[in-house]
């Protein structure tokens, strides 16, 4: 199976968001990665429910929503209604992660768990079979355009081993500092999906950049 590409709209042109959504629709990308930040869990504020509802009207591909917010369990139904297909919460933001994942799945969404760079894979030992997708943060969440943290490659390998041993079908997605070089190393380490923001939207030909990422093997 080819690698799943999820362009992050955080680096899109918000004055012309419709054009960037059309570009992703026409491209070889698989999902739209939407970053929600609350200014508490991360030191930045992005966009929220009304913007996602509008994106959902135009996007022809699944919405991969990454919640960088505290107490994400309070907003699961609202993100479902806004159009999320995959809803990812941070492990560090959930006291009752198991309950939160069950709630996400009860709406028919795929349930994702994101790990900050300092959070070890072994925290997932007892819950991996309940997770549809693990999002490994390869930068500290909050901003686009940061450099890839190299130790993330080892985390992908450890996670791949855990998934294999547990017999689960959890997907591994990686977010932060992804370009064709880091993307290549990530695919070799076992990543199933790559998020890319600045590398796609700051490139001269974003559709071509998406195609180049999609061809990584």
Q: From the annotation, which residues make up the binding site? A: 8, 33, 35, 66, 142-145, 175-177, 197-198
Directed axis angle between helix 206-214 and helix 180-189, to 10°? Answer: 20
Q: Which of residues 159-198 bind ligand DX5 (CB under 6 A)?
A: 175-178, 195-198
Tokens of 214: 């999609």
Query: Distance between CA atoms of 12 and 16, rounded to whole angstroms?
Result: 8
SS3 202: coil
Task: Please give the positions annotated as active site.
Answer: 35, 175
Tokens of 11: 């680096």
Question: Can you tell me which of 35, 38, 132, 192 binds ligand DX5, judged by CB under 6 A?
Answer: 35
SS3 110: strand
In angstroms, what is the minimal distance from the CB of 129 to ligand DX5? 25
Q: Does 90 bind Zn ion (CB under 5 A)?
A: no
Query: Distance between CA atoms of 173 and 64, rounded to whole angstroms?
Result: 11
Which of 55, 36, 52, 34 is CA-nearest to residue 44? 36
Q: Does 90 bind ligand DX5 (CB under 6 A)?
A: no
Looking at beta carbons only, is 112 or 206 nearer to Zn ion?
Answer: 112
| Residue-wise burial string across 118-129, b where 16 or more C-beta atoms lie within 10 A, e elsewhere | ebebeebeeebe
Choose the one of Zn ion, ligand DX5, none that binds residue 54, judging by a C-beta under 5 to 8 angstroms depending on kind. none
Q: Does 145 bind ligand DX5 (CB under 6 A)?
A: yes
Choose the one of ligand DX5, Zn ion, none that binds residue 199, judging by a C-beta under 5 to 8 angstroms depending on kind. ligand DX5
Q: Which residue is nearest to Zn ion (CB)?
A: 66
In angstroms, what is the minimal distance from the CB of 166 to ligand DX5? 26
Q: Which of residues 170-209 bind Zn ion (CB under 5 A)?
A: 175
In angstroms, what is the minimal distance from the CB of 31 to ligand DX5? 12
Neighbours of 50 (CB within 10 A): 9
Query: Distance between CA atoms of 30 and 105, rounded to whole angstroms?
Result: 21
Q: Which residues would be at the binding site for Zn ion (CB under 5 A)?
A: 35, 66, 175
Q: Which residues would be at the binding site for ligand DX5 (CB under 6 A)?
A: 8, 10-11, 33, 35, 66, 139, 141-146, 175-178, 195-199
């Amino acid at each position: 199976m080819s690698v799943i590409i999820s362009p992050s709209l955080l680096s899109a042109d918000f004055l012309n968001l419709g054009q960037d959504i059309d570009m992703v629709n026409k491209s070889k990308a698989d999902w739209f990665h939407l970053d929600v930040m609350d200014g508490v869990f991360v030191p930045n504020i992005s966009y929220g429910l009304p913007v996602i509802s509008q994106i959902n009207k135009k996007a022809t591909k699944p919405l991969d929503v990454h919640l960088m917010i505290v107490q994400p369990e309070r907003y699961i139904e609202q993100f479902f209604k806004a159009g999320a297909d995959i809803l990812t919460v941070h492990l560090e933001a959930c006291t009752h992660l198991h309950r939160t994942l069950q709630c996400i799945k009860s709406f028919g969404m795929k349930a994702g768990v994101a790990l900050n760079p300092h959070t070890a894979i072994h925290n997932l030992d007892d819950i991996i079979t309940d997770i549809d997708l693990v999002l490994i943060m390869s930068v500290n969440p909050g901003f686009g355009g940061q450099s890839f943290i190299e130790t993330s490659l080892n985390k992908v390998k450890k996670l791949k081993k855990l998934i294999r041993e547990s017999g689960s079908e959890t997907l591994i997605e990686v977010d932060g500092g992804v370009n064709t070089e880091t993307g290549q190393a990530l695919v070799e380490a076992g990543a199933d999906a790559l998020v890319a923001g600045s590398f796609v939207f700051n490139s001269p030909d974003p559709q071509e950049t998406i195609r180049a990422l999609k061809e990584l093997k």
